[in-house]
Structure 1
Amino acid sequence: MKRLKQRCLLLLKLTAVLASLWMISMLSHPKIGWHPTYILRYSWLEYEDADGSPESVCDCSAILQGDMEAVEQAKLLTITKDFKKSVQIPDEYYIHATKDCGNFKSSRKYLTFPLSQEEEEFPLAYSMVVHHKVQNFERLLRAIYAPQNIYCVHMDNKSEPSVVSAIRGITSCFPNVFMVSQAVNVVYAAWPRVQADLNCMTDLYNASTRWKYFINLCGQDFPLKTNLEIVQALRSLKGSNSLESEKMPPEKKWRVSNAHQIVDGQIQAAGRAKMPPPFNLPIVSGNAYIVVNRGYIRSVLEDNRIQALIEWAKDTYSPDEFLWATIQRMPGVPGSLWPNPKYDMTDINAIARLVKWQWHEGPLGSMQAVYPECHGTHVRAICVYGAGDLQWMLNQHHLFANKFDTDIDPIAIYCLEKYLRQKALAELH
């Protein structure tokens, strides 16, 4: 009897300790409610094989661990006609499904609440420039969506009507996702590609004063990190920006020394030389994708030097591959770097975007290769990732990767989005 009483007292003490810990947790996270059953209550937000997705026949765990047998099986599936047809979601599905937004968000398992106080207090702003492949866009949006963030979607004016209707339907289901106020006809390697992001920058800057960092995306990007990991990476920047910005290689200087124009929807040389850039600004090389603080965006919209640079850049070739990088090296721009070459940053060192260029690939162990060979295919010398690229990609520090395509390898996207969702929910512990 005495031993039983001791056990009862011990159990009561243990219960009291657990209750105290729960109360401390509740006080630490008052907006979420971190009850011990929280994880179980939200386990339905995980992407499960039982959801009926055709890609679930693959072993994502083995693929992510680099199991070559699982990777080869995935490769075989992606070239099978019946499988490729089964994974495609037509535009009409989204047009119809978004007529009931509640059911759409629930069935597609969107996260409709902040997963942590840290994320809630550090909202992000996204520009998303898209023109086709609604399924790619929707899966990207679902992967990065959080109610505290804000999203501007730029639809190319040339997009098919079904694409426009589907994406308008999707954006209409979320109060913090909106279509850009002024869309343009995007032309590859020409000024309108920059203008699309500029228009979203303006809308995002005016829509909210709360967001901390701006990230621009295209429809074939996908995150490599959870929202919490992205927030933590941006916090660690301590107000600085992260984007490619380095000396302009000689073979690219013609892009900014010769004037260009758009003719019949294509960019071509105008047959005349350009004047030097304003204020003798040193033009540096970069790419279209950036991770920058709110102050950088304010400078883009308000700094007279940058406004002059923008006007000068409008008749250059591929201005998105030098404009943001050059602004990043202008003294006085928040988070910028000094223009001295010692501060040059490559795309590998920046966290903005992981891109595999065909001419930098090489066999495993090669001292000359920047990264291993592409497991997918190449479009304009850029790797469209396959499932076999995932293990390597997830070991990189970049926040996003480009390119993904459900038409080429839907398994790569499926396994990545499943991994990220499981990790995001595991972070609730």
Structure 2
Amino acid sequence: METIRYERNRLHEGVCWRPGGVGSFETSPQRPACSSHEKDITRLAKNCRNFVRVYGFIMNFLTEEERNFSIAYSILVFKDAHQVTQLLQAIYRPQNVYCIHVDQKADQSYRDTMAAIADCFHNVFLTSRSVDVRWGTFTVLEPELICMKDLWHFKKWKYFINLTGQEFPLRTNFELVRILTAYNGANDVESIVKRANKERWASAGPTPHGIILVKGAVHIAVNRDFVDYVLHSPVAQDFLNWTRRVHIPDETFFASLNHNPQLGIRGSYKGYPETDPVTKPFLTRFKNWGDYPCAEGNWIRDICILSTGDLPLLDKRPEMFANKFYQDYSRVALECLHQRLYNHMRDEFLGMMEFDTSYYQNVSFVKNMVTVEKTN
């Protein structure tokens, strides 16, 4: 079995462990600090071999199970190039594919940095076009659809996960593959009915095809057939055009499609569409909306900005990713999560850590999903 050599590397003021390639676990001399300045990152990325080494990207698939389970990602970004690079490094594997949307408002130097990073990898690319993202409008949903369309040309991926540059994984790639395998085609999409802001839909008129409206986060983990339906179904296109007339359409489109089982979308949900931590958890993303203390009391738009004091909570969470982190404010917390992630990965490959997927296999959206016979 292949293992990973870990390199000790000082990043800013924190000490972290970085994978250096295939080999044995060992400590090596310190590498130069990774700069958070865009120009420095761009300069570093012009030497791709050095960029990959300094940031510790894993350039092999590690296990056959991971090799055979490709994940497609969209990542919406607009600032903090170093933080985005940390995120990409944490989730990068050569068998996956990554679509990066750079907000049209971002300056050219930032776009150049993202382009330079993407050019270092065969499976990372910038979107075919860019959108000026404005909260509450269709432009929040539009980049996801652009990435879905761009990613569709890659034939091997099985699940799609959408991220922003202000998130970080709570699971290793191996654990993500195990979770998505346990889902067995089920889609992990938030759904809210009782607390839905129905006034945002009132002026749009009746929905096409009798679709029942459900609110939910734009962030999803869905199978390839769901993306196929979004891109190619006339019903989905009619509904998409309808959502252009509502407020915050990104919180309507995916959630409603996934919770109208009569549409026959594989992996969609047949039960009552109300997300609940016990009966129907939402495991794609952890956000603290006030259900837990916010360690430093830093709330932005009702979301806790995560810091080191939140790490004990994050360590116990079952979700795949956590939101939200700010590059400067959350710097140490992100470094600790980096070290935690790689400690888990190290222990997995040393046979010191098991990952039990029984919880994920038995959640309600897996037990109550729409199954569709696939035809060749």
Q: 1:57 and 1:226 mapped to 2: Cα distance?
A: 20
Q: How does 1:340-379 map to 2 (within 5 A)?
A: 341=272, 343-346=273-276, 349-357=281-289, 360=290, 370-375=291-296, 377-379=298-300
Partner of 1:170: 117
Deviation at residue 423 of structure 1 after TM alignment: 1.5
Match of 1:286 among 208, 213, 216: 216
Partner AA of 1:215 in structure 2: I
3-state SS in 2 of match to 1:350: coil
Q: Where does 1:203-352 land on structure 2 (aligned, <5 Å)?
A: 203-206=150-153, 208-247=154-193, 249=195, 252-257=197-202, 273-331=203-261, 332-338=264-270, 341=272, 343-346=273-276, 349-352=281-284
Distance in 1 (CA, whole Å) between partners of 2:343 and 2:287 is: 25
Q: Which structure 2 segments of 5+ residues have no match?
A: 17-32, 351-376
Partner residue of 1:113 out of 60, 77, 99: 60
Q: Are the aligned partners of 1:119 and 1:228 in contact in 2 as well (CA < 8 Å)?
A: yes
3-state SS in 2 of match to 1:242: coil
Match of 1:388 in 2: 309
Quote the offset at 1:375 in angstroms: 3.4
For 2:83 and 2:47, the matched residues in 1 are separated by 21
CA distance 1:114–1:57, change in 2 (3 Å):
closer
Look up the match of 1:43: 5
Deviation at 1:162, TM superposition (A): 1.4
Q: Counterpart of 1:243 in structure 2: which amino acid?
A: V
Pairwise CA RMSD of aligned residues?
1.9
Shift of the alpha carbon at 1:54?
2.9
**What is the one-letter code of the residue matched to 1:419?**
R
- Aligned match of 2:366: none
Report deviation, 1:182.
1.8
Q: TM-score normalised to the size of structure 1?
A: 0.74
Q: 1:54 is matched with which residue?
A: 12
| 1:94 and 2:41 correspond | yes
Counterpart contact for 1:356–1:382, Cα < 8 Å: yes
Q: C-alpha distance in 2, partners of 1:346/1:172?
A: 41
Cα distance per residue 1:165-210 (max 9 Å; x no partner): 111111110000001112111111210110100000011112x111
Whichever residue aligns with residue 185 of structure 2, its letter is G
Q: Does the CA-based 8 Å contact 2:172-2:341 persist in structure 1?
A: yes
Sort the Cα spacing of 1:376 and 1:249 in 2 relative to 1 into closer, same or farther, 3 A.
Answer: closer
Instruction: State the secondary structure of the residue aligned to 2:316.
Output: coil
Q: CA deviation at 1:255?
A: 1.2
Q: Which moved more, 1:385-394 or 1:216-225?
A: 385-394
Q: Which amino acid aligns with 2:198?
A: K
1:278 alignment partner AA: P
Per-residue Cα deviation, 1:82-134 (whole angstroms, up to 9, x for no partner): xxxx9861000111011110111012110000111110111100000111111
Displacement of 1:407: 1.6
* Aligned length in residues: 331
- Alpha-carbon separation, structure 2, partners of 1:211 and 1:57: 35
Question: Would the aligned equivalents of 1:55 and 1:87 in 2 still touch at CA under 8 Å?
Answer: no
Q: State how far apart, in whole Å, the 2-side matches of 1:122 and 1:185 are.
A: 33
Out of 183, 190, 213, the residue aligned to residue 137 of structure 2 is 190
List alignment gaps of at least 5 residues for structure 1.
1-33, 59-85, 258-272, 361-369
Would the alpha carbon gap of residues 129 and 346 (structure 1) be closer, same or farther in structure 2, given more than 3 Å must change?
farther
Distance 1:113 1:87 in 2: 22
Equivalent residue number for residue 24 of structure 2: none
Percent identity reads 33
